Copies of this chain bind each other. A is one copy, B any other.
Amino acid sequence: MSRPKVVIARHLGAEVMAMLDRPDIDVVAWPSETKACHRKWLLSNVVGATGLLIMLSDKVDAELLDAAGAGLRVVSTMSVGYEHVDVSQLGKRGIRLGYTPDILTEAVADVSVMLALMVGRDVGIATAVVRNGEWPNNPWAPFAFCGPQLSANSVNPIRTAGFIGFGRIAQATLTRLVPFGFTHCVYTGNPSSAADPTLDAALAEKFGLRSVRRVALDELARESDVVFVLAPGGQSTFHVVNEAFLKQMKNSAVLVNTSRGPLVDSDALAKACRERWIWGAGVDVVEGEPNITVDHPLIKEPRCIVLPHIGSATTETRLGMATLAVKNLLGGVLNEEMPTEYKFT
């Protein structure tokens, strides 16, 4: 009997690739770690594959699945999101899907808090002053580089964190904000379920906050000192942060997006920074990334900090994600348990 073929759409480093060096499978791997796999390569190599391991940059649609043929048992993505995968097509064809939730929760929560701090402190402007040799002309002065304080203080003892999407990463972010003196939390939930005051009271108790409340989007915009965008991608959340939302935010508030670029309308956000509807923004993801050049409206805003999608980029977390993606792949290929398998509804 011929050995099952697995296609790996990215080189995963020597340590993780070694896990695939086993006698019971044939491995075909895209050779580069830094460059995304070409669609053409994928379409031709996926023919006859039993398993496929992909990144966020690899689209899994009917065309690719047709090319693979009936033997494909599993698609394993090294990502927490799966908006690049046509889930309904997988369901129809009985192909299992593996993804890597949870493992990146702490790393992304770290970056979310970091961006909230960096924006309030005008770090983009402050580091540019130093880098450009302008510190000597900008000595310590009572109100130089001053922005809104993230932590509670005598002027603003009430601090409210707002979360668009209130899953694991959002809650890990909130956990970190508690000792900064945050007192309240508002969040938006899945519109298909009803608000639950008993749950909210239990959450307030758990986090040690004065209140946690599920609210409508406009109330969230009005009440939050920091808004964290941490919802899944897809059509239902496309441009959930738009001009109307940003206009309702406090002038001193900060917007942080560490989920998916398309949730935020970049032009509206740039305008909000430029016209000071809000204090500023920190985004780890941008619609259209990585094709973000120096003429992009967000790059030109000094009050907007843009990171190149490094939310989960720690050595520990990425090793964990890659390892988990390989385990999901092998589980699917060998008809065994997959550690984190997507449940089709």
Chain A contact residues, CB within 8 Å of chain B: 10, 12-13, 33-36, 55-57, 78, 103, 106-107, 109-111, 113-114, 117-118, 120-124, 126-127, 129-133, 135-136, 138-156, 175-176, 178-181, 289-294, 299, 305-310, 313-322
If the complex has contacts A114-B114, A310-B126, are A143 and B315 also in contact, measured as CB distance less than 8 A? yes
User: Are A289 and B135 in contact, with the CB atoms below 8 A?
Assistant: yes
Complex copy number for this chain? 2
CB closest chain-B residue, reference A181: B106
CB closest chain-B residue, reference A307: B126
Partner of A290, one of B13, B135, B146, B319: B135
User: Are B307 and A127 in contact, with the CB atoms below 8 A?
Assistant: yes
Partner of A320, one of B34, B114, B153, B307: B153
State the majority secondary structure of interface residues on A.
Answer: loop
Subset of 11 A-B contacts with CB under 8 Å? A106-B152, A126-B308, A130-B307, A135-B290, A135-B292, A138-B290, A144-B310, A144-B313, A153-B314, A155-B315, A155-B316
Bound: A93/B155 CA distance, A: 37
User: Are B153 and A107 in contact, with the CB atoms below 8 A?
Assistant: yes
Bound: A315/B142 CA distance, A: 9
Beyond A34-B144, A114-B118, 20 extra complex contacts between A and B, CB < 8 Å: A33-B143, A36-B140, A57-B139, A106-B149, A106-B152, A106-B153, A114-B114, A121-B314, A127-B306, A130-B306, A131-B299, A138-B290, A140-B290, A140-B309, A142-B318, A144-B310, A146-B315, A148-B314, A149-B315, A176-B180
If the complex has contacts A110-B180, A114-B118, A180-B176, are A290 and B136 also in contact, measured as CB distance less than 8 A? yes
Cβ–Cβ < 8 Å partners of A305 in chain B: 127
Cβ–Cβ < 8 Å partners of A152 in chain B: 106
Bound: A122/B36 CA distance, A: 22
Cβ–Cβ < 8 Å partners of A289 in chain B: 135, 139-140
Q: Smallest Cβ distance from A282 to chain B, in angstroms? A: 10
User: Are B107 and A114 in contact, with the CB atoms below 8 A?
Assistant: no
Q: Smallest Cβ distance from A236 to chain B, in angstroms? A: 23
Cβ–Cβ < 8 Å partners of A310 in chain B: 121-122, 126, 144-145
Cβ–Cβ < 8 Å partners of A139 in chain B: 35-36, 57, 289-290
Cβ–Cβ < 8 Å partners of A118 in chain B: 114, 118, 123
Q: Smallest Cβ distance from A222 to chain B, in angstroms? A: 21
If the complex has contacts A33-B141, A126-B307, A127-B124, are A107 and B315 also in contact, measured as CB distance less than 8 A? no
